[in-house]
């Protein structure tokens, strides 16, 4: 409302939290926040038992060592953090959030850990970039239009990370990846090409990652909080450093 009445000169607004609370109460406004919910299926116990049985069958059939059972988890993040809350009329069913033009640019961080609790190299996946960005040594970097795994990425990931270790060089030992049920991941479980290189995939059933996907619990939320904190620090630095701004004085 203040912006609508003052156009571009909307920088002098001041109001205490108490004033804002009274204003929302007078105008019948509430603070709405974007959230996601996840519910377990009714047959969750049986789904867990079936998943564990498949994992045991794979490890016994192919004699897979615990050091080669790799839990893998991908966390997509957008370069520009979008707002999570807005003010809207009480009782409204649709809540619109303001976004900027480049909010669709993202990257995906892939974390991996073995059944022996050894953390492997970090993999970063960037979308809509022409060249691979510079990253710290020891980080695997890929670029493609979607910023998510395609059919060719798992084999390269296995070659550079899983099979770069002494015990698995030359594909001498089979490797089992445990990964969530994202659409592209489901196809990996049936890939004969990957099996030819001793690479096997076990897909966590839908809506079960908070029970069967260990890294979802151990890494996901803490990593997103860390990224958001670093993003805010970068913005604070960019506001003062002209070298981090564009010619149009944008961040």
Render pLDDT for 89-146 as a digit per residue (tens, 0 to 9).
666 666 665 555 555 677 888 888 888 888 888 888 887 777 788 888 888 888 877 6
73, β-bridge pairs: 111
**Is 192 strand, coil or helix?**
helix
CA distance 169 to 189: 22
CA distance 164 to 145: 27
Q: Nearest CA to 219 among 18, 77, 49, 63?
A: 77
Q: Nearest CA to 147 among 164, 133, 163?
A: 133
249, β-bridge pairs: none
Percent of the chain whose predicted confidence (pLDDT) is above 90: 7
- Calculate the dihedral angle through the C-alpha atoms of 143, 101, 247, 6, rounding to the nearest 10 degrees: -160
Domain chopping of the chain, boundaries: 41-81+103-244
**What's the mean pLDDT in 172-177?**
84
Q: What's the confidence (pLDDT) of residue 36?
A: 57
Q: What's the confidence (pLDDT) of residue 18?
A: 80
pLDDT at 197 over 60: yes
Alpha-carbon dihedral sign for residues 230, 232, 235, 236: negative
CA distance 148 to 124: 10
Q: What's the confidence (pLDDT) of residue 16?
A: 77
Q: What's the confidence (pLDDT) of residue 204?
A: 87
Q: Domain 41-81+103-244 belongs to what architecture?
A: 2-Layer Sandwich (3.30)
């Amino acid at each position: 409302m203040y912006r609508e009445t003052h156009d571009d000169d909307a920088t002098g607004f001041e109001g205490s939290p108490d004033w804002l609370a009274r204003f929302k109460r007078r105008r019948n406004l509430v603070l709405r926040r974007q959230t996601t919910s996840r519910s377990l299926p009714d047959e969750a116990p049986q789904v867990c038992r079936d998943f564990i049985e498949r994992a045991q069958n794979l490890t016994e059939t192919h004699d897979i060592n615990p050091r080669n059972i790799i839990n893998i988890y991908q966390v997509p993040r957008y370069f520009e953090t979008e707002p999570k809350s807005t003010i809207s009329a009480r009782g409204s069913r649709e809540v619109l959030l303001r976004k900027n033009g480049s909010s669709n640019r993202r990257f995906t961080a892939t974390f991996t850990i073995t059944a022996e609790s050894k953390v492997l190299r970090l993999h970063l996946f960037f979308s809509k970039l022409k060249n691979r960005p510079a990253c710290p040594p020891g980080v695997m970097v890929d670029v493609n239009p979607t910023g998510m795994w395609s059919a060719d990425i798992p084999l390269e990931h296995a070659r550079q990370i899983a099979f770069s270790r002494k015990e698995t060089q030359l594909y001498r030992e089979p490797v089992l990846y445990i990964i969530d049920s994202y659409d592209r991941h489901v196809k990996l479980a049936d890939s004969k090409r990957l099996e030819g290189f001793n690479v096997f995939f076990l897909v966590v059933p839908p809506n079960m990652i908070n029970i069967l996907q260990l890294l979802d619990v151990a890494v996901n939320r803490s990593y997103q909080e860390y990224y958001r904190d670093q993003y805010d620090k970068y913005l604070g630095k960019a506001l003062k450093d002209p070298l981090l701004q564009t010619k149009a004085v944008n961040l």
